[in-house]
């Protein structure tokens, strides 16, 4: 919009609003996540913060609300507390790379490509006191 000023010069006057801050996509907004094993891309705290930034609900313990157990590829299946509980509750066991690939791509990638292939039967027994040892 142009306005004439008293000095007979044309100046552009813009009624622009400040640019909106770009919202971080909620890549992990569906579900509740827990971490297992030694994360290769950072500590559990760093990984949790990163996932929360992208909309994740995190849980230190595996409960019936956990939908995904994010695991490292080397020793996660040896975890005798979280893995059996996740299997019992029907949570998906996915590789840690899933998080980073989703963030890098800017969209939620199908988690089926990141499932642990050697998962035994999901009906594996969980110790009756699992709520005490999955902390």
pLDDT digits (tens, 9 = 90+) for 51-65: 999 999 999 999 999
Q: Which residues contact 53 (CB under 8 A, 6 or more apart)?
A: 24
pTM of the model: 0.69
109 in Cβ contact with 102 (< 8 Å): yes
**Could you give the domains of the chain?**
26-116+123-133 (3.40.50.10190)
Task: Report the distance separating Cα 71 and Cα 92, nearest Å.
Answer: 10
d(Cα 28, Cα 32) in Å, to the nearest integer? 8
In the chain, the percentage of residues whose pLDDT exceeds 90 is 51
The per-residue pLDDT for 134 is 36
Cβ neighbours around 33 below 10 Å, total: 22
Q: For residue 35, what are the β-bridge partners?
A: 70
**pLDDT bracket for residue 7 (50, 70, 90):** low
pLDDT reported for residue 23: 76
């Amino acid at each position: 919009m142009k306005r004439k000023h008293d000095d007979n010069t044309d100046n552009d006057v813009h009624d622009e609003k400040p640019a909106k801050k770009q919202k971080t996509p909620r890549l992990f907004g569906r579900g509740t996540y827990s971490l297992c094993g030694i994360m290769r891309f950072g500590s559990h705290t760093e990984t949790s913060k990163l996932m929360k930034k992208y909309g994740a609900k995190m849980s230190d313990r595996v409960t019936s609300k956990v939908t995904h157990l994010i695991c490292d590829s080397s020793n996660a299946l040896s975890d005798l507390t979280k893995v059996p509980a996740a299997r019992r509750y029907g949570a998906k066991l996915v590789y840690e790379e899933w998080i980073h690939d989703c963030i890098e791509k800017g969209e939620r990638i199908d988690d089926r490509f990141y499932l642990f292939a050697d998962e035994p039967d999901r009906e594996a027994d969980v110790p009756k006191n699992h709520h005490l040892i999955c902390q």
